[in-house]
Structure 1
């Protein structure tokens, strides 16, 4: 049985999320780091607070939709395997984000812009490095999800 509309929705939701995270890692934060300290800190603080409100829902929605695709594809073992890998990677990334990146993000979001902590740039660099690792795994999850959806429509 084919569920093309659901597959389309999950690929759009996941693709936009991964693209957003890739843009943050590859374009937004590298440009912000070129700004003066006050502007850089203010920008990253604003982004940390905004993304801190939006991304939990986006990640959760992507995971739920990926699990739904895995459930639907259980008749096609190869497609199910790729969907399951995607769901596992997304689950692990959510845990990684909550345990490692959210605390850093919270520190950035709570910075006093009038008196920046001495280590604020180190904090930003650490977050960017860890975020780049997350983006790599997000791309892997998206590839697995795309393969799963493609396999299900070709069988």
Structure 2
């Protein structure tokens, strides 16, 4: 049973990392190359769509990692799993304090009502997101290492 939990947790966290990596290094650069109205509309739509899904994914991943840490406490790699969980907690805190406030504003913008500094706000969101991606990549790496 522990093996199944380890595999499911690692796959789900890995998929989350892949989505967030793609947002940072594929989707947002594509959006930024579009004309301003299309760029802003794409980011707003992405903020609404992923803003609905990602909280469940982050919290679900954290619950799975915590369950793995508890169930596998006496197994090799438990410290790595606990450290991974701490990094996922950090990523949730970063999300709540830094990224969600910007996203909550940005997802309501249209070309007609966006603020004059919308690009600066999106650039700030991108910088915070790069840091969060680094944190969740480290958490995922620890989970993979704990498996071997």
Question: What TM-score, normalized to structure 2?
Answer: 0.96
Structure 2 unaligned spans of 5+:
none
State the structure with more CA Rg.
Answer: 1
SS in 1 for 2:73: helix
- Contact 2:41–2:110, Cα closer than 8 Å, also in 1: no
Show the counterpart of 1:3: 2
Greater mean alpha carbon deviation, residues 12-21 or residues 108-117: 108-117
SS at match of 2:116: coil
Residue 38 of structure 2 corresponds to 39
| CA distance in 2: counterparts of 1:95 and 1:88, whole angstroms | 11
Question: For residues 116 and 49 of structure 1, what CA distance do their matches in structure 2 show?
Answer: 15
> Unaligned regions of 5+ residues in structure 1, if any?
151-155
* Secondary structure of 1:27's aligned partner: helix
Report the counterpart of residue 66 of structure 1 in structure 2.
Answer: 65
Shift of residue 6 of structure 1? 1.1
Structure-2 residue corresponding to 1:105: 103
**TM-score of the two chains, using structure 1 as the length reference:** 0.92
Per-residue CA deviations over 1:70-102 (Å, capped at 9, x if unaligned) read 1122113x5111000000000111011011100
Structure-2 residue corresponding to 1:30: 29
2: CA distance, partners of 1:116 / 1:18: 29
In structure 2, the partner of 1:125 is 123
Which consecutive segments of 4 or more residues in structure 1 shift more than 4 A?
none
Cα RMSD after superposing both structures: 1.1
Q: CA deviation at 1:112?
A: 3.3
Q: Aligned to 2:132, which of 131, 134, 152?
A: 134
Instruction: Please name the residue that 2:147 is paired with.
Output: 149
